[in-house]
A and B are shown apart, each in its own frame.
Chain A
Amino acid sequence: MNLQPTRKTVAHIVILLGILAAWYTGGTMNRKLAADRAARHPHLQSLETAPPAVLFTTLVLGGFRGLLVDMLWLRVSVLQDQGDYVEVVQLSDWITRLDPNSTEVWQFHAWNMAYNISVMMPDPVDRWRWIQNGIHLLRDEGIVLNPSEPQLYHALGWLYQHKIGGTTDDAHGYYKRQLAGTMQTILEHGFPDYESLRNDTTRTERLRREFKLDTTVMEAVDRDLGPLDWRAPETHAIYWAWQGLPLATGNAALPCERMIIQSLSELVRHGRLHFDRETDTYRQSPDTNLLSRVLTRFETTIQTFDLEGFHAGRRTLVTDAARIFHNQGDPATARRLFERFNAELPPPMRFPDFETFIKSPSDTYYLEPRHNHDVHPNTP
């Protein structure tokens, strides 16, 4: 195309004006769109405050992000099928960064690493590393990018409560030792002295850096529910559920509330740790000091969520506590708890006396008959 110089200048000016017009229109529309987006999806993070990597991929890839996520996800599946896991961390990181506001994506990839991949490792050391990879993804990235999503706090708490605190993984003892061992290097006996901790920036910084634990929140948790042993995985589950709780409204708060109650109940059953790194001793025994706190928590929770599951959970905890006190040689407390619990049971489920109760199987879950098809009569 050969244009005369004047025409060429006019053409350049027209093109320039066109670019400026497009720029102005785009900017105006973008502000409107951003405002509309913020109004409709308040939980989504604004792009202006997003980290550079997320900002870059969002702007450069636009609508193709979804396609790229699919391709990366397929690659994760193929690699997993082949038993080649080295690349999965990087791919999961990219996938979550390409779709940073989808909580399901964060939850899936953290779960995938902590559960699916970890069990493929023969060595507990490798398994623990994969669980930590899952924790890091949720705690250090997912929650940072989505600080107002209670599901992510619950998903993170679940890794502590179930994967580390539970017994389904046959390497669970190793995980518990590792967590307790690291926490013990910061909090010597697991129970923080907040007065001295406030003045000790080294330890506070380590808690923040290595566990993303805020001592102010820890203190609030301990004040309300504790004192808790921070070497125990259940305490970490409580911490993260506690963080997610105020962000959830209505029934969305239920998973976090349930996690707090369940973890506290578990701490009553075996929350007292006897841990010695030198001798590799890790024993758990009941922590009955927490019982009154847990029962109070049950009462307040039931006021908000009057669900049979919470009633049954409380009954089961009380019976367990009665047995614990009985085994610890405190029959008076055991009998008092038994009477309280037995009076709450529906008449057909009641025990005739304390002795019959003590001899009955200890793994019964005391649901109302209408909720439980397998309830067995407790009368002899």
Chain B
Amino acid sequence: MRKIAAITILTLRTAIRSRLVAALIVILLIAAVILPGAVRGDGTLPGQVRMAIAYTLGVTRILLSMAALWAAAGAIALEVEDRQIHMVMTKPITAFQVWTGKWLGLLFIHAGMLTIVGILLYAGLMWTLHRSASPAEQDLLREHLYTSRLRIVPEEPDLTTEIQARFNALRQATDGDTSLPDDTLLANLANSIRAERLVVAPGQSRQWILHVPGCQSTVDSRVITLRYRFVSSFRDRLPVTGTWWIGNPDEPRLGSIPVDEKPEGVHRLDIPASARSSSTPWVLTFDNETRDKSNTVVFDFNRGIELLIEDGTMGANLFRGLWIILAQLALLTAVGITVSTGFSMPVTSFTTTALLCICLLSRWAADDSLTVSGDHHGTSSPPPEIVPILTETGEWIINRVAHATNPLFAVSPSNRLADGIRITWAETGHSTLWMLLIYPAILAAIGHIILRRRELALPTT
């Protein structure tokens, strides 16, 4: 442990003397102090605050990620190049200890920088709340942004029977020749049925089940907001008139809130304590009025309805968000150091940057991989055999990379914090486990093997 600490301290000392770190601190200070005032929101103070949080954390994350990769890439490679590593490796210290010491050293630097940004951001937000906001704006900010709200989405109903019935009917109607593979067809049918369930015609009702966690005795003291989004069949004719009912499976219509909404957009409804159910799950029902008073509405496929429940403070949420960013930086640093054990500069930097690009592109491509597969099977004249093999291999790789990098992108702290949405301890723990422990441990083992086998005392020209 003392050996690791020694390497960590050496890394910290080198970093403190480095101009890169000094420059980075200056840039981060600018990002945390000047950027919040420079970005433009939608013209409201809450909009400005949202932009300030999202952009400050976003810029911090990008800058520190680049710095993490760059610093880690040079951590061992530059020492090998300058032959400084000889002074270390000739001592009774293992490659694993060198790797870990370097990683911890860089991690402390990132933690320090994140702490500075976090403190400045928090101070700036508090200053805005107390100095710039009117009393009405203060209330709005406290309720929707300077808080941590749990986001609850409806339970996914079990559609298996319906999907299977439709699937069987379709196979029968087409005599088994649907030109799409079964899994694609089933996925399409599932989406189609889900979409149909989002339509509420005049005079009809739709129900959602939401599991509201937490002890129900305190639920009434919290601000609970129903946020829903729909489009209407006729934009410029009638408003959408209806009633939201809140209840539980036994009594689904305990409390009601009548609504008379514009036919499009995101709507917010604070649910008063008197209209809430004291037991979970909650059943939310929307009764659309008859045709003479309302229109058909189509709830949004991805963000149709969600319940936002006040569940903590912004400070704690900010801490969790910064912690997740630190975990992401820890993983990037681990990747950089590991690559650095095998290559020299600037190959290390290019390799780590390329790896990051592959991860980002894989995530982007993974979303469309199913469609590509469906299209290929759907063509009437089958392409040459080599194409499906390449496509399928490519898809397999993309999906595996996307899956492996899931922990890195699972939570976007800047978006969550800017929306006042809670980053849960479970998510923080999950990120810590994968990005601060498991992946770095694997990478440390790989780095250890490479560094131990690497010929460090090569003669130079």
Residues of chain A whose beta carbon lies under 8 Å from any beta carbon of chain B: 82-83, 85-90, 93, 119-122, 129-130, 132-133, 168, 170
Please measure, in the bound complex, the distance between the C-alpha atom of A130 and the C-alpha atom of B264, giving whole angstroms: 15
Cβ B236 vs Cβ A90 within 8 A: no
Which A residues touch B51, using CB under 8 A? 86-87, 90
Cβ A87 vs Cβ B54 within 8 A: yes
| B257 → A minimal CB distance (Å) | 15
Q: Which residues B220-273 have CB closer than 8 A to chain A? A: 229, 235-236, 261-262, 264-267
**Residue in A closest to B268 when the chains form the complex, CB atoms:** A122
- 8 further interface pairs, Cβ-Cβ under 8 Å (given A93-B40, A119-B264): A82-B302, A86-B47, A86-B50, A120-B264, A120-B265, A121-B262, A121-B265, A130-B42
Please measure, in the bound complex, the distance between the C-alpha atom of A132 and the C-alpha atom of B43, giving whole angstroms: 9
Give the size of the chain B interface in residues (CB under 8 angstroms): 22
**Residue in A closest to B260 when the chains form the complex, CB atoms:** A122
Which B residues touch A119, using CB under 8 A? 235, 264-265
Contact pattern, B 16-43, Cβ under 8 Å of A = 1, otherwise 0 = 0000000000000000000000011111
Cβ A83 vs Cβ B40 within 8 A: no
Which B residues touch A93, using CB under 8 A? 40
Please measure, in the bound complex, the distance between the C-alpha atom of A129 and the C-alpha atom of B265, giving whole angstroms: 15
Please measure, in the bound complex, the distance between the C-alpha atom of A83 and the C-alpha atom of B262, giving whole angstroms: 14
Cβ A129 vs Cβ B42 within 8 A: yes
Point out the residue from B236, B262, B303 that lies within 8 Å of A82, measured CB to CB. B303
Q: Which 4 A-B residue pairs are closest in the complex by CB-CB distance? A: A120-B265, A122-B262, A83-B266, A86-B47
**Residue in A closest to B235 when the chains form the complex, CB atoms:** A119
Please measure, in the bound complex, the distance between the C-alpha atom of A351 and the C-alpha atom of B235, giving whole angstroms: 40
Please measure, in the bound complex, the distance between the C-alpha atom of A88 and the C-alpha atom of B54, giving whole angstroms: 13
Which B residues touch A122, using CB under 8 A? 261-262, 265, 267
Which A residues touch B264, using CB under 8 A? 119-120
Query: Is B300 an interface residue when CB atoms closer than 8 A count as contact?
Result: yes
Which A residues touch B44, using CB under 8 A? 129
Which B residues touch A90, using CB under 8 A? 39-41, 51
| B440 → A minimal CB distance (Å) | 31
Cβ B303 vs Cβ A89 within 8 A: no
Contact pattern, B 34-64, Cβ under 8 Å of A = 1, otherwise 0 = 0000011111100100110010000000000
| B83 → A minimal CB distance (Å) | 15
Q: Which residues B190-235 have CB closer than 8 A to chain A? A: 229, 235
Cβ B40 vs Cβ A89 within 8 A: yes
Please measure, in the bound complex, the distance between the C-alpha atom of A190 and the C-alpha atom of B21, giving whole angstroms: 60
| B113 → A minimal CB distance (Å) | 25
**Residue in A closest to B262 when the chains form the complex, CB atoms:** A122
A119-B235, A168-B236, A170-B236 are known contacts. Are A83 and B265 too (CB-CB below 8 A)? yes
Cβ A89 vs Cβ B41 within 8 A: yes
A-B residue pairs in contact (CB < 8 Å), sample of 8 = A83-B266, A83-B300, A83-B303, A86-B47, A89-B41, A119-B264, A120-B264, A132-B43
| B125 → A minimal CB distance (Å) | 16
| B140 → A minimal CB distance (Å) | 13
Please measure, in the bound complex, the distance between the C-alpha atom of A88 and the C-alpha atom of B41, giving whole angstroms: 8
| B40 → A minimal CB distance (Å) | 5
Please measure, in the bound complex, the distance between the C-alpha atom of A119 and the C-alpha atom of B236, giving whole angstroms: 10
| A4 → B minimal CB distance (Å) | 16
Please measure, in the bound complex, the distance between the C-alpha atom of A2 and the C-alpha atom of B265, giving whole angstroms: 68
**Residue in B closest to A85 when the chains form the complex, CB atoms:** B42
Please measure, in the bound complex, the distance between the C-alpha atom of A133 and the C-alpha atom of B42, giving whole angstroms: 8
Point out the residue from B43, B235, B262 that lies within 8 Å of A133, measured CB to CB. B43
| A295 → B minimal CB distance (Å) | 34
Which B residues touch A129, using CB under 8 A? 42-44
| A146 → B minimal CB distance (Å) | 20
